[in-house]
Amino acid sequence: MLRQKAGAPTAPATTEPIKIGLVAPMTGEGASYGEAAFGGAMLAVKEINDAGGINGRKVELIVEDDRCSSAGANAINKLVNVDKVTAIVGPVCSSSAGPGVPIAQSAGTPVILIGASAPDLTKVGDYIFRNYPSDALQGKFAADFVYNTLGKRKTAVIFVKNDWGQGIRNVFIERYKQLGGEIVYDEGVLQDATDLRTQITKAKAANPEVLYFPVYPQNGVAGLKQIKQLGLTATVVGGDAFIEESILKLPEAEGVLIMEGKTNNPDDFQAKVKQVSNKSINIITPYAYDAVKIFAKVIEKVGTDQKAIRDELARTVYRYSIAVPVVEFDANGDLKVAEVAVKVIQGGKTVEYIR
């Protein structure tokens, strides 16, 4: 192989790495999700590069920490305007994606959201895609489950006041009322709130049969303890943010029901992830892996022109994904086919709910 001599011209652009950005919470309360996304994305990058890259070009993953917050705007702005990435994987959190994805849309940088599930995010524009089930599906499913499967007619709602919590709360309440259910209490809490006693006391006074509780892990850890302390006996139904070690290992979480996008996360895949990252692995890991692989497949076919990537994503049918059987996007950029599963927390892990 010819080696470049010192002082020789730099290599032509066609041999430079293809830059893909990852936006995820690497620090803060949501760091376990960022670590999980990083592991999945890094495994995909390693496999691509070990196989020779994309049309002979290596992939470089550039990671930006959004702290699951409005810092997503700065993170995406840097990736788009400073790093000049070809595409972006993430954000994981809707509270980051809300202010961030309009920047990518305006710049014409393709994005695959990997957990940010607020329904309106993909409506920002045609460069925004999502391989994770939207809250439009999850919230509706939760309402149907509470009303039809559990047979409960009186529900209290305590939600986290951000794009994700507000979005899934809106969908749930609209559908539940449509079915004939009664919302007996409805109030939000701040994203960093750990004292939920006022809201729980008010919810208890309304005598609900179910507490729909789409909050973040830090809210949930404190809230589930306080629910027990205050004697609220309603069935607790949480969102997919509860699939987190701090919740699952909590004694007060035993028996809590969780709605999540039906996701495959097989043991052999997790073993491969552990070879590139010793951090958290959770529901986000396979979605991050799949997003990188989907971008690689598309770029291999059409090159790095971002409009061409967007157009190809819109017609791609990807059958090699880990998280879901097939990734195919609808006109809005969401999955054409997605399913929601009901799990129950038992013994520090989630198992399939059986009535």
Per-residue pLDDT reduced to its tens digit, 31-82: 989 999 999 999 999 999 999 999 999 999 999 999 999 999 999 999 999 9
Comparing CA positions, the residue from 69, 61, 140, 122 lying closest to residue 99 is 69
pLDDT at 13: 53
Comparing CA positions, the residue from 86, 87, 97, 93 lying closest to residue 122 is 97
Element housing 141 (H / E): helix 135-144
CA distance 339 to 324: 9
CA distance 58 to 46: 9
Residue type, 280: S
CATH 3.40.50.2300 residue spans of the chain: 17-133+264-324, 136-261+340-352
Q: Between 4 and 47, where is the model more confident?
A: 47
Phi-psi map region of 129: left, alpha, beta (phi>0 left; psi -120 to 50 alpha): beta
Whether 192 shows a pLDDT value over 60: the answer reads: yes
Element housing 12 (H / E): none
pLDDT in tens, 125-165: 999 999 999 999 999 999 999 999 999 999 999 999 998 99
pLDDT at 355: 78
Give a three-class secondary structure readout of 72-139.
HHHHHHHHHHCCCCCEEECCCCHHHHHHHHHHHHHHCCCEEECCCCCHHHHHHCCCEEECCCCHHHHH
Residue pair 106/306 in contact (Cβ under 8 Å)? The answer is: no
Does 3.90.226.10 match the CATH number of domain 136-261+340-352? no
| Cα dihedral: 158, 342, 132, 317 (round 10) | -160
Residue 8 burial (C-beta neighbours within 10 Å; 0-12, 13-18, 19+) = exposed
pLDDT at 2: 31
Q: Report strand pairing: 257-261 vs 340-346.
A: antiparallel
Residue pair 132/324 in contact (Cβ under 8 Å)? The answer is: no
| DSSP class of 131 | S
pLDDT at 12: 45
SS3 210: strand
Q: Which residue has the tokens 């038992």?
A: 346
| DSSP class of 260 | E
C-alpha 337, offset from chain centre: 17
Q: Which CATH class is domain 17-133+264-324?
A: alpha beta
Whether 5 shows a pLDDT value over 70: the answer reads: no
Residue pair 69/26 in contact (Cβ under 8 Å)? The answer is: no
pLDDT in tens, 245-302: 889 999 999 999 999 888 999 999 999 999 999 988 989 999 999 999 999 999 999 9
CB-hemisphere CA count at 13 Å for 184?
19
pLDDT in tens, 97-109: 999 999 999 999 9
Q: Which two tokens stand for residue 215?
A: 């909050």
Whether 353 shows a pLDDT value over 50: the answer reads: yes
pLDDT in tens, 217-250: 999 999 999 999 999 999 999 998 898 888 999 9
Q: For 302, phi and psi rounded to 5 degrees?
A: -115, -5
Average pLDDT over residues 327-331: 97
pLDDT at 93: 94
pLDDT at 243: 86
Count of helix runs (H) and strand runs (E) in the chain: 11, 14
